[in-house]
């Protein structure tokens, strides 16, 4: 490989995350990717937050802030971030501190080693439910893995993970349509329909509760199943 640095675009959809976004940005900046020959492009997409999320982001140097004109959902915010990104690689990162930026390193190693075309950070490889995770969240996620298997023919331990790593060219080429949490399942279905190899890498996970701002619910489970069926053969 040449000595020229590659760039990882980090796309962070954020809605009312003033409690967490500043800490997250500090954590991302602290991750040293230079041994892998990679620099970082950090993009926060503020989905019309009603709190100080955007103001906090603006105080962080070296961070691109993209403001949505109206609240359109997590999927729409992610799609806006993908459009804005310029890096060689792209990772999607939630803003709520459930996922640790340190896990970028093993995920990038897997991608750079050619183990897969896409790398998902799995919360469930080699383990079961996390101690502070609700049974509803755990069983909802695991059952969506079965839905993915039924409709795409591929079993993934954690298809709803919020840490997904791609070649930017691969993710930018998808004609993505969904606007909510179901974007995860549309991406998975389309990547598999295109014959892309998805590999999973175990990651850490610190679940948060509804009281702490967790936004996904039962309705999203039904939408997720429908999304796997809808996009099962659509590349």
pLDDT digits (tens, 9 = 90+) for 33-70: 999 999 999 999 999 999 999 999 999 999 999 999 99
Inform me whether the pLDDT recorded for 72 exceeds 60. yes
Question: What pLDDT, in 10s, does the model give residues 120-175?
Answer: 999 998 787 887 788 888 888 788 889 889 998 999 999 989 999 999 999 999 99
3-37 confidence digits (pLDDT tens): 689 999 999 999 999 999 999 999 999 999 999 99
Q: Are strands 89-92 and 118-122 parallel, antiparallel or unpaired?
A: unpaired
pTM comes to: 0.90
Instruction: Quickly count: other Cβ atoms within 10 Å of residue 106's Cβ.
Output: 13
Residue predicted with more confidence, 214 or 76? 76
* Token pair of 224 as six digits: 């997720």
Write the CA distances from 56 to 2, 10, 195, 218, integer angstroms. 37, 17, 40, 31
The CA distance from 166 to 45, in Å, is 18
What is the bridge-based pairing of β-strands 118-122 and 164-167?
A: antiparallel
Alpha-carbon span 225 to 150, nearest angstrom: 10
Answer for the pair 98, 163: CB distance below 8 angstroms, yes or no.
Answer: no
d(CA 219, CA 226) in angstroms, rounded, equals 11
pLDDT one-digit tens code per residue, 172-223: 999 999 999 899 999 999 999 999 999 999 999 988 655 544 556 677 778 8
Distance of CA 24 to the CA centre of its chain: 14
**37 closest CA partner among 69, 61, 74, 8:** 8
Sign of the dihedral through C-alpha 194, 12, 180, 128: positive
Given this model, what pLDDT does residue 1 score? 46
């Amino acid at each position: 490989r040449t000595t020229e640095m590659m760039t990882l675009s980090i796309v962070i959809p954020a809605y009312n995350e003033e409690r967490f976004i500043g800490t997250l940005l500090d954590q991302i900046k602290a991750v040293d990717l230079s041994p892998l020959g990679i620099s970082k492009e950090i993009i926060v997409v503020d989905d019309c937050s009603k709190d100080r999320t955007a103001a906090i982001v603006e105080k962080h140097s070296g961070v691109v802030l993209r403001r949505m004109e109206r609240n359109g959902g997590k999927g729409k915010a992610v799609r806006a971030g993908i459009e804005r990104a310029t890096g060689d690689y792209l990772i999607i990162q939630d803003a709520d501190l459930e996922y640790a930026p340190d896990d970028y390193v093993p995920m990038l190693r897997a991608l750079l080693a050619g183990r897969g075309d896409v790398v998902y950070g799995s919360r469930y490889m080699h383990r079961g439910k996390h101690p502070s995770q609700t049974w509803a969240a755990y069983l909802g996620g695991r059952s969506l893995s079965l839905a993915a298997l039924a409709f795409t023919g591929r079993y993934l331990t954690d298809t709803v993970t919020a840490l997904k790593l791609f070649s930017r060219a691969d993710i930018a080429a998808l004609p993505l349509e969904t606007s909510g949490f179901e974007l995860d399942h549309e991406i998975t279905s389309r990547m598999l329909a295109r014959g892309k190899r998805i590999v999973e890498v175990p990651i850490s996970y610190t679940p948060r509760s509804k009281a702490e701002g967790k936004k996904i619910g039962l309705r999203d489970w039904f939408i997720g199943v429908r999304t796997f069926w809808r996009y099962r053969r659509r590349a």
